[in-house]
Structure 1
Amino acid sequence: MNQRGKTSGEFTGRHMLIIMLAFFGVIIAVNLTMASFANSSWSGLVVKNSYVASQEFNEKAAAGRAQAALGWSATMAYADGEFAYSLADRDGKPVRIDGGVVQFRRPITDVDDHSVGLTKKGRGRASAAVSLGDGAWIVEVDADAGMETPFRDVRRVTIRGGVLQ
């Protein structure tokens, strides 16, 4: 009688089970990891109430057109932990800034978001001490320039080596 024994190269149902469990185990582990990262990062919330934001849009657009009609130019700089902001009218003369607020936001996450107050530093200039890490930032300046509403300036900037690019 010839008795068959297990050979080392035989593929069994147990091997197939191990392969299937490993395959789906990796997929499930990756999905859980990505879901955890997504849950702990940016919430995706841009506005708390989109209906109210849409109602305010026309007012903000009109204010933006009125501000653009002034012909003012603004410059911003960041170096050595100090954010500097200045305004000039269409003739290049400095516009008085009595203060204001600057909001710094990361484009993708809200972890580093913060705001600081601007301090008057002479005619047409204001500054704030702030620590910004390298990378992309959205800077929103609301400068008190003696108008009914603050002068609003929103820009996306890049900080490299502690200096605004």
Structure 2
Amino acid sequence: MTARAAKPFTFTGRHMLAVMVAFFGIIIAVNFTMAYLATSTWSGLVVANTYVASQQFNGKTEAIRQMLATGINGELAVKRDGIRYHLTLPGNVPVVADSVIAHFKRPVGEHQDFEQVLTPAGDGVYLAEREVLAGSWIVEIKAEKDGKLVMHEAHRITVSGE
């Protein structure tokens, strides 16, 4: 019987190449996965100029605080075939506005966005008959009376496909 001595392990250039390919392969795979998830699932708002939007933020926030201090309240209901918006002051006092406009925006993309003028139906209720596609929407509503903004709010809603 011949006893064969075990050859000690020698780390070669091929081993180093395998380690580097595995290491950088994992990093590249993770980066591509994250990039895909970021572009396919992002649901933030898009503004034309982020710098200008950031400069206007504090002024808009203060105007909304003053508006909400009046106690004004809007209730939005959206179904596939129409839009209903009820605008009231404390004590369920209806708000009569000269114009109420709802701007529907998809969270990502602009090709399905639309603006809808709501018509008064009495007692602070404003309606519109329009087909609204199923899915997620950001609805920005502006109500004006005598040229002054009395309500400006945004809702993120989901319209069911039924």
1:151 aligns to what? 151
1:62 aligns to what? 62
**More moved, 117-126 vs 82-91:** 117-126
2:82 aligns to what? 82
1:98-117 to 2 correspondences below 5 Å = 98-117=98-117
Distance 1:69 1:150 in 2: 11
Richer in strand (by share)? 2
Provide structure 2 residue ranges, at least 5 long, that are not aligned to the other structure. 1-31
CA contact (8 A) 2:80 2:159 kept: no
Distance 2:45 2:118 in 1: 27
CA contact (8 A) 1:107 1:137 kept: yes
2:124 aligns to what? 124
| Corresponding residue SS for 2:86 | strand
* Cα distance, 1:45 vs structure 2: 7.9
TM-score normalised per structure 1: 0.65
1:28-72 deviation line (CA, Å, top 9, x unaligned): xxx8xx99xx6xxx9x88222222212211210111100110112
CA contact (8 A) 2:135 2:161 kept: no
| Corresponding residue SS for 2:111 | coil
Matched AA of 1:83: I
Distance 1:144 1:122 in 2: 16
* Cα distance, 1:99 vs structure 2: 2.0
> CA, structure 1 residues 45+76, in 2 after alignment: closer, same or farther (shift >3 Å)?
closer
> CA, structure 1 residues 137+128, in 2 after alignment: closer, same or farther (shift >3 Å)?
same
> CA, structure 1 residues 45+126, in 2 after alignment: closer, same or farther (shift >3 Å)?
closer
Distance 1:144 1:123 in 2: 16
2:96 aligns to what? 96
Which structure 1 residue ranges, 4+ long, deviate > 3 Å from structure 2? Answer: none
Distance 2:144 2:161 in 1: 30
| Corresponding residue SS for 2:61 | helix
Distance 2:140 2:83 in 1: 12
Matched AA of 2:52: V
Matched AA of 1:66: Q
Distance 1:45 1:102 in 2: 17
* Cα distance, 1:111 vs structure 2: 2.1
Distance 2:145 2:85 in 1: 12
